Amino acid sequence: MGRDYLGELEQQILLAALRLRDDAYTVSIIRELEARTGRSPSHGAVYVALRRLEDKGMIRTRLGEATGERGGRPPRLVELTPAGIDSLRETRQALERLWSGVPEVAE
């Protein structure tokens, strides 16, 4: 598990989910990524990444409250597992170790 570094989109999705706390689901994550990174992943990409993260045990999902705006369909709310948080941390540390060897370009 520890060797399994996260892909870029996976990292971004996990971080967005952390920022969104209790309101993390596909649409809010896409919006968060749009606002923070300027890129707008498709529903397909996010859906598949979430499924993969769930399979890897990095997130847990549960159904939220259905609203009229969603045509009465509940959102699948995302919550990071301790393994997910560990994995994020490991990925960040690995990246930082790599960056530390790189001079000026960094800033």
Question: Residue numbers of the site for another protein (CB under 8 A)?
Answer: 23, 25-28, 30, 42-45, 47-48, 51-52, 63, 66-76
| Residue with smaller CB distance to another protein, 43 or 89 | 43
Nearest distance from residue 56's CB to another protein, in Å? 12
Contact 79, 60 (CB under 8 A): yes
| Residue with smaller CB distance to another protein, 57 or 74 | 74
Contact 80, 18 (CB under 8 A): yes
- Look at the alpha carbons of 14, 67, 41, 44 in this order and tell me if their dihedral is positive or negative: positive
Helices (H), 1-107: 8-20, 26-37, 43-55, 82-100
Nearest distance from residue 58's CB to another protein, in Å? 16
Q: Is 42 helix (H, G, I), strand (E, B) or coil?
A: coil
| Residue with smaller CB distance to another protein, 18 or 64 | 64
Nearest distance from residue 16's CB to another protein, in Å? 15
Nearest distance from residue 45's CB to another protein, in Å? 6
